[in-house]
Amino acid sequence: MRWDHARRHAACGLLALALLTSCSATEPRPDVGGSVAEPAPGATLAWSRVVATGTRPFAVVGETVLLADGTALLGLRRSDGGELWRLPFVDADRFTVAGAHLVVERSRTGSFVASEPTDSRSVEVFDAATGSPRWRAEGQARAVVRADAVYLTRAADHVTTAHEIADGRARWTASGIGIANDSIGARLPYAPPSPRYLTTTGGGTVAAVDARTGAVQRGRLGSHDWYALVADQTLVATDNDPPPSERRCTVSVTTVAVDGTNQRTTTAFSGRQADNSCERALADTDNGQSALGSGTRIAVSSADGRPQVLDLATGAITWTAAAPGVPIDGDDHSLLVRRHADTGDLTLLDFAGGRQRWTAPDTGLPGTSASWNSAVTSGLVAVTGAADDQPFVTVYDADTGRLRGRFPSWLAGAGDSWVAVTHGNGTADQLTVEFWTFSSR
């Protein structure tokens, strides 16, 4: 089952972006008295800041950096880290970036699957640049956030209302549906783009809902304990648990057009870990990812263990890589592959056609570690590694694989031209966050 897989990968927290407290003593820890950062030419430490220990989600919206700090959510100036605004924020809260807005779920119930909607006490929406409140919804509900709207399902009566992100105005209200949060290519804390259709689950089936009107479409599929999403106008449900008699890492992908036509089942495969066990998941659930890819195309593996891209709209394999490996991260331009799902050398492929751009050695940190994290952007690729029980973050140029820097830290976040890392500073209840920028040279 999906939550069993997520629990295995989340032993020390739901989002292992920057952990210093809750993990065991065997987890790698940056040594503040040891090695120092090794930036390559073009890398600049823009600023650093001391924050409370714990999981620290990190995001950038325009010229504003968003950073949780124990009891507050901070809006910082991107250029120098100066504080612009602060909002009350505790560990049970969660924030999601939706375009220029910030959605905060208060007292959110935890889940082993980070993308799974769970009950929260209230939902508040703010302007990300100024921290100014925009609107608020009280009462226990489950929130699904997209760039243009917040979909709230009340736990008491299973009524869902779509609220415009800017002002909270109700777009539509529908009874008896709950919105699923799976999507392609999205990564917390950023919301997926505005969709034409969303997925609703209930009664053992999944269906598509028109995001503009709330109308449930004719297409129906049986639900499983894995992914349920809409890729453009194709409803998708997957079963990532191979049958007991199946020795391959089979993923059954069932699709139907939202209007109920053209139903098919395609056999794909998940990758394997170094011990030959099936990875089952198609993306890192700790980051809120359901599938790597863009549009209707997602990354899977072939029966013989090579990266592939599957077009969900047609059921066809778009390309298969020449060398073995398992997709572990990516964006709509690039696919990061590791020799095994949890260990091995790294390769970056073009997502469009599978061309190999560059390779890099194994980072020395297994993907099952709570300290593991990676990020792929159009400009940079950042991965966490470890040597002699000391973690570090290695940053590569996305196009060439050129080394841009190595930092004795945990990875907190990355963008096209920036990387945020965290490390201990000799104080048990504090972390230091560093914001590094990278020029094109």
User: For residue 190, what are its two tokens?
Assistant: 């950023």
Return the pLDDT at 242.
Answer: 81
The better pLDDT of the pair 51, 377 is held by 377
Torsion angle in degrees (nearest 10) through CA of 432, 286, 414, 90: -50
What single DSSP character describes residue 215? P
Among the residue ranges 34-38, 205-209, 323-327, 435-439, the one predicted with the least confidence is: 34-38
Q: How far is CA 3 from the centre of its chain?
A: 16
Q: Report whether pLDDT(112) > 80.
A: no
List strand residue ranges (DSSP E) for 270-379, in order.
Answer: 293-294, 297-301, 307-311, 317-320, 326-330, 334-338, 346-350, 356-360, 374-376
H/E stretch holding 5 reads helix 2-9
Q: Report whether pLDDT(35) > 60.
A: no
The stretch 402-420 carries a mean pLDDT of 95
Handedness of CA 29, 271, 286, 331 (dihedral sign): positive
Distance CA 82, CA 74 (A): 10
| Confidence class for position 33, pLDDT limits 50, 70, 90 | very low
In the chain, pLDDT over 90 holds for what percent of residues?
73
The stretch 3-24 carries a mean pLDDT of 42
Distance CA 120, CA 125 (A): 14
**Most confident residue range from 182-186, 187-191, 336-340:** 336-340
Distance CA 298, CA 294 (A): 7
Q: Report whether pLDDT(12) > 60.
A: no
How deeply is 220 buried, as exposed, middle or buried, from its count of CB atoms within 10 A (0-12, 13-18, 19+)?
A: middle
The better pLDDT of the pair 265, 57 is held by 265
Q: Report whether pLDDT(77) > 90.
A: yes
Which residue from 371, 375, 374, 380 is spatially nearest to 424, judged by alpha carbons?
A: 371
Longest CA span, the chain: 63
Instruction: Give the chain's domain count.
Output: 1
Q: Cβ–Cβ contacts within 10 Å for residue 132, how many?
A: 9
Q: Report whether pLDDT(4) > 70.
A: no
Distance CA 141, CA 121 (A): 7
CATH number of the domain enclosing 301: 2.130.10
Mean pLDDT of the chain: 89
Return the pLDDT at 160.
Answer: 96
Among the residue ranges 14-28, 102-116, 128-142, 390-404, the one predicted with the least confidence is: 14-28
pTM for the predicted model, two decimal places: 0.91
The stretch 120-139 carries a mean pLDDT of 97
**Domain ranges, residue 113:** 2-438
Distance CA 418, CA 438 (A): 6
Return the pLDDT at 56.
Answer: 66
Distance CA 120, CA 105 (A): 6
Distance CA 169, CA 211 (A): 14
Question: Which residue(s) pair with 294 in the sheet?
Answer: 297
What are the φ/ψ torsions at residue 285 (nearest 5 degrees)? -65, -25
Q: Cβ–Cβ contacts within 10 Å for residue 236, how many?
A: 26
**Structure confidence by residue, pLDDT tens digits, 361-405:** 999 999 999 889 999 999 999 999 998 888 999 999 999 999 999
The better pLDDT of the pair 356, 51 is held by 356
User: For residue 25, what are its two tokens?
Assistant: 């003593």
The better pLDDT of the pair 294, 16 is held by 294
| Confidence class for position 176, pLDDT limits 50, 70, 90 | confident
